[in-house]
């Protein structure tokens, strides 16, 4: 497929990968089958983002609220993550993708925690693109853990200090937040980091989100004017000055 070119490529794209369960239900399949297909879509998206010059991709893989889903679905997701670590990490390493897992690891099994840490270590020398996988993550948890970390160190809780203590402090804030599946909310994802992100909502279910859908989102982003509280005139003057 020919690669689209854009006047403004987002440095950091964040994605709420929604619609796996509905994709499976429409095909009379178990929900976990949708999650498996979602992994295939994520693999495509990672490759496409790297080819288009995106430097950071952050995806919402498992929220802190997802523990409330049916037990068989949760266990299936955990099994899927374990298999993905084995199968995907060597490919990420080969393609220059640095992997971070972002979220609360305390409630995960010791085996899972070790697997996440090992996967991060295997890709630590890569520099082509950063892939943040938000796993057992919630935006409110992120803000609370940052505040708790500062309080434990006796540091004043300021906006700048909180930003440095956030779980995604190793990358700039997202330029573009994409949510698939037709829902128009951010569902406790990157509440702090997405204060000035451009929002894009796609009707496509995540397993159907392909390179063309990504290009559509990036094209929409390229048409946006990002003012960050300034006027259009100020933005234009800054661009030409």
Q: Which residues are catalytic?
A: 18, 66
132 contacts 13 by C-beta, under 8 angstroms: no
CB-based contacts of 227, cutoff 8 Å, min separation 6: 234, 235
Q: What angle do CA 19, 77, 186 make, to 5 degrees?
A: 40
SS (H, E, C) 214-228: HHHHHHHHHCCCCCC
How many angstroms separate the CA atoms of 61 and 30, rounded?
A: 18
Residue 80 tokens read as: 């899927």
Ranges assigned E (strand) in the chain: 12-16, 56-63, 97-102, 129-137, 176-179, 198-201
Rg (CA), the chain: 18
Residue with tokens 């369960």: 21
Q: Write the CB contacts of 57 (distance below 8 Å, at least 6 apart in sequence).
A: 12, 13, 14, 15, 45, 46, 49, 129, 130, 131, 132
Q: How far apart are alpha carbons 41 and 210 in whole angstroms?
A: 7
């Amino acid at each position: 497929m020919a690669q689209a070119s854009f006047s403004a490529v987002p440095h950091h794209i964040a994605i709420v990968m929604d619609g796996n369960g509905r994709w499976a239900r429409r095909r009379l399949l178990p929900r976990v089958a949708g999650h498996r297909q979602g992994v295939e879509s994520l693999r495509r998206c990672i490759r496409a983002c790297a080819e288009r010059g995106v430097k950071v991709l952050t995806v919402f893989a498992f929220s802190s609220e997802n523990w409330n889903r049916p037990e068989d679905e949760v266990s299936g997701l955990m099994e899927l993550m374990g298999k993905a670590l084995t199968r995907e990490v060597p490919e990420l390493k080969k393609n220059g993708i640095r992997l971070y897992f972002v979220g609360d690891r305390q409630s995960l099994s010791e085996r899972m925690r070790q697997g996440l840490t090992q996967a991060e270590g295997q890709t630590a020398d890569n520099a082509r693109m950063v892939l943040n996988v938000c796993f057992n993550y919630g935006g409110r948890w992120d803000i609370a853990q940052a505040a708790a970390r500062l309080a434990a160190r006796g540091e004043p809780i300021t906006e700048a200090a909180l930003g440095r203590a956030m779980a995604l402090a190793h990358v700039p804030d997202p330029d573009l937040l994409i949510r698939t599946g037709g829902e128009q909310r951010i569902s406790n994802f990157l509440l702090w980091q997405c204060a000035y992100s451009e929002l894009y909502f796609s009707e496509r279910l995540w397993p159907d989100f392909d390179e063309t859908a990504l290009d559509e989102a990036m094209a929409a982003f390229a048409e946006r004017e990002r003012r960050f509280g300034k006027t259009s005139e100020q933005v234009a003057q800054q661009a030409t000055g």
